[in-house]
Amino acid sequence: MEAGGIQRVFATLARAFVERGFDVDVVLVSKRGELLGELPPEARVLSVGAAWPLAARPLLALPGAARSVAWRWLATLRPRPAESVGPLARYFAEAKPAALLASPTSASLAALWASHVARSDVRVVAREANTLSRQIAERGEWYHAQLPALAREWYPRAAGVIAVSDGVADDFAWLASFPRERITTIHSPVDAARLRELAAQQPDEPWLAAGEPPVVLGVGRLVPAKSFATLIRAFALLRAQRSARLLLLGEGPERAQLQALARELGVERDVRLRGYEANPFAFMARAAALASSSIHEGLANVLREALACGCPVVATDCPSGSAEALGNGALGRLVPVGDARTLADALADAIACPPSREERARRAAFVTADAGAARYLEVMLGSDDAAS
């Protein structure tokens, strides 16, 4: 449960399922991370991480050909989910859950293999949270390149596949040769009541006090896919035109490079990297604008959360979810990927001409009105069981 989009959405879903009267287990490879506290106290939180020998033990009973395929499968998985196959198979056999929702792709593959080993009838539903082709191209890691072939082999066993956006669904269907009609698009749910409660809290940030210059907010892990370097370059252009400040919430490997870039551009005094914040919504409610400069996104749920907080949004029109999150531009400004000048101009417009209170309320209502959790249950349990 480290700070990340998948983890935050799963915490939201766990709370929603508990509120609907379901018994909920949250099954983690490792029981740690900043967002553990976001899980509902009624949920049982389990850790199924294990060593390789325990993960591989079920393979010994397979016939030669099947064992060969299974070894190849395990060898190409991301190591941590692969280690959980054996313990997860035991969990299926002992707990006998009705359904299991898994994400990302490597975890979904591990869940499908574990259900096969356990001969379980659990309904495994795979959730695709990002544009897989972009992840493979960007990361260049050996196991990522194997995921499409593995998905072609094992995803037909899934009870359902959920994608966070149509763009993610289209990309996965093409890359894995998977029937597009078997993929259900469900935008990640926003817990409106909880978000409003958190947004009302006062953040410990002097820059957000009344009378201070307007603040542009960036939220996310400091990784290449988020392209915060583009945002800092855009902010430098904005800062040359008017007084403003930039706050980045999140941690990651690019922290040092981003701080160096701010110094190089002469804006280090007006750029603050605060690190991970447990409550980013209090910042969203008070920022002049939220900017997303990503190279690719699954849905960019942070945009929907910002809109729900009443914060104006500017985002790059990246593959594949930002446009969907913003209603193809109806709810926020879309700009080309990597274009610092256009991003700076859009931010200047958002600060100079903010939407009215009524328009902010309309945007917030739009992103919090969908029944995301109920639609997840329809796929996980079948329409009849979810309705009851």
- The predicted pLDDT at position 388 comes to 45
The tokens describing 56, both together, are: 């591989």
**Mean pLDDT of all residues in 8-32:** 92
- The predicted pLDDT at position 357 comes to 87
- The predicted pLDDT at position 188 comes to 85
The tokens describing 265, both together, are: 């551009």
55, 73, 246, 316, 346 from 234: Cα distances, Å: 48, 44, 10, 12, 10
- The predicted pLDDT at position 83 comes to 73
66 pLDDT band (50/70/90 cuts)? Answer: low
Would you say residue 120 has pLDDT above 60?
A: yes
Cβ atoms of residues 238 and 344 within 8 Å: yes
Model confidence over 287-330: pLDDT tens digits?
Answer: 999 999 999 888 888 998 999 999 999 999 988 778 888 888 88
Burial of 100 (0-12, 13-18, 19+ CB in 10 A): buried
- The predicted pLDDT at position 369 comes to 56
Model confidence over 121-144: pLDDT tens digits?
Answer: 999 999 999 888 888 887 766 677
Going from N- to C-terminal start, the domains of the chain cover: 5-189+370-387, 192-368
CATH superfamily of the domain spanning 5-189+370-387: Glycogen Phosphorylase B; (3.40.50.2000)
Model confidence over 200-242: pLDDT tens digits?
Answer: 999 999 999 999 999 999 999 999 999 999 999 999 999 999 9
Model confidence over 254-285: pLDDT tens digits?
Answer: 999 999 999 999 999 999 999 999 899 999 99
Would you say residue 107 has pLDDT above 80?
A: yes
Indicate if the alpha-carbon torsion angle 25, 28, 31, 37 is positive or negative: negative
What is the pTM for the complete model shown? Answer: 0.84
CA distance 76 to 69: 11
- The predicted pLDDT at position 97 comes to 96
Would you say residue 58 has pLDDT above 50?
A: yes
* Domain 5-189+370-387 and domain 192-368 have a common topology: yes
Share of the chain above pLDDT 70, in %: 88
274, 313, 320, 360 from 131: Cα distances, Å: 28, 22, 7, 29
- The predicted pLDDT at position 27 comes to 93
CA distance 87 to 172: 28
- Give the chain's mean pLDDT: 88
Regarding predicted confidence, which is higher, 32 or 79? 32
- The predicted pLDDT at position 84 comes to 81
Would you say residue 59 has pLDDT above 70?
A: no
- The predicted pLDDT at position 51 comes to 44
Q: Spelled out in words, what is the top-level CATH class assigned to the domain 192-368?
A: alpha beta
